[in-house]
């Protein structure tokens, strides 16, 4: 996408309902605590003024809440979630058009360096590719926490793209004033354009993100129709939803090196006929997915089918098999064959 010359970004600001002591500290930092709560009426549905459109990458270490935030911003699940690290494995685009502005959010896999197999190298390439050509980066961390994994992600961010520090899970901080020294330390790590302490599970906080991001998006035509929510196909979403159910229902028992391949996807009016294969690395993993008497696999299929039927507002006939492909996650060729970058 060709980017117009961006406007000079405003002085770094912090957005949150925080106490006066924190407000004073942020003023000394060069920012200003600003109440930016947004109600439904603050998000105009009718376009007013020139069109704006831009791409916003959401990046951070695994399990920091990126996919939860994306789904909340779009108002519908377009990115799967679970407690297992590396649940997101693809560049997931979520689109929301508010008034005259179209926000194109990009959810990315959690960048990590603990495992160096082919799958993780692919996921890290996806992250780096996503942040190379965007208008704005949302760097997501947990409020009051910044560890080595966060630092490794921050080191990858390009200096020429404005970056917002989004401190998620603020609801877990009992005394809001305790976050002030941490915010001051974060300013020393990177020249963030904005500081946004929030909770991705709080509706008001999520709505504030639109107003904060909008000023960094260029004036240009929309990329997608106004009612578009994602650029991903139903076939892709079917594989993702099945994989989400695997992760949620197997918990920590099953290593993250499992994937889903859609072998057949046929449309007959409001009916979808889907055949899928769950690929695992070991025979023991296959048993974890199938469960005693096939009960776990049956539940995975049932929950996935119900969610798909709600998604398409139609009927789904779903068949699932489980196959073993030893070492697939450490084979560049097999990783690519399963649709990873």
pLDDT single digits (tens) 123-182 = 667 666 677 789 999 999 999 999 998 998 899 898 899 999 999 988 888 777 778 899
Pick the more confident residue, 152 or 49: 152
Give the pLDDT band (50/70/90) at residue 227: very high
When mean pLDDT is compared across 40-49, 76-85, 112-121, the lowest value belongs to: 40-49
pLDDT single digits (tens) 272-303 = 999 999 999 888 899 999 999 999 999 999 99
pLDDT at site 87: 65
Mean pLDDT of 46-52: 77
Pick the more confident residue, 24 or 191: 191
60 phi-psi bin (left φ>0, alpha ψ -120 to 50, beta other) = left
pLDDT at 21 over 60: no
Complete domains list, the chain, with CATH:
13-214 (3.40.50.300), 234-337 (3.30.300.20)
pLDDT at site 18: 46
pLDDT at site 17: 47
């Amino acid at each position: 996408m060709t980017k117009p010359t961006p406007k000079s970004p405003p002085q770094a600001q912090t957005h949150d309902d925080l106490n006066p002591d924190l407000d004073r500290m942020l003023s000394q930092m060069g920012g200003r605590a600003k109440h930016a709560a947004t109600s439904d009426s603050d998000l105009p549905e009718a376009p007013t003024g020139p069109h704006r459109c831009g791409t916003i990458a959401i990046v951070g270490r695994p399990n920091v809440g990126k996919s939860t935030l994306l789904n909340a911003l779009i108002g519908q699940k377009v990115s799967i979630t679970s407690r297992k690290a590396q649940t997101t494995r693809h560049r997931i685009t979520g689109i929301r058009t508010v008034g005259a502005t179209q926000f194109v959010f990009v959810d990315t896999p959690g960048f990590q360096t603990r495992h160096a197999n082919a799958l993780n190298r692919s996921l890290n390439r996806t992250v780096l590719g996503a942040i190379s050509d965007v208008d704005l980066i949302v760097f997501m961390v947990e409020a009051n926490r910044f560890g080595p994994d966060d630092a490794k992600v921050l080191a990858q961010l390009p200096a020429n793209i404005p970056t917002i520090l989004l401190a998620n899970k603020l609801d877990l901080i009992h005394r809001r004033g305790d976050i002030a020294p941490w915010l001051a330390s974060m300013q020393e790590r990177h020249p963030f354009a904005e500081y946004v302490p929030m909770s991705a599970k709080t509706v008001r906080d999520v709505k504030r993100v639109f107003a904060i991001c909008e000023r960094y998006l260029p004036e240009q035509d929309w990329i997608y129709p106004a009612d578009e929510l994602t650029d991903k196909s139903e076939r892709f979403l079917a594989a993702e939803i099945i994989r989400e159910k695997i992760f949620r229902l197997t918990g920590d028992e099953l290593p993250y090196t499992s994937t889903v391949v859609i072998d057949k996807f046929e449309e007959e009016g409001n009916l979808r006929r889907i055949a899928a294969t769950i690929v695992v690395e070991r025979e023991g993993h296959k048993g974890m997915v199938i469960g005693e008497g096939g009960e776990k696999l049956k539940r995975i299929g049932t929950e996935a089918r119900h969610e798909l039927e709600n998604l398409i507002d139609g009927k789904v006939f779903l068949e699932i098999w489980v196959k073993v492909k030893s070492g697939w996650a450490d084979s560049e060729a097999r990783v690519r064959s399963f649709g990873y970058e």
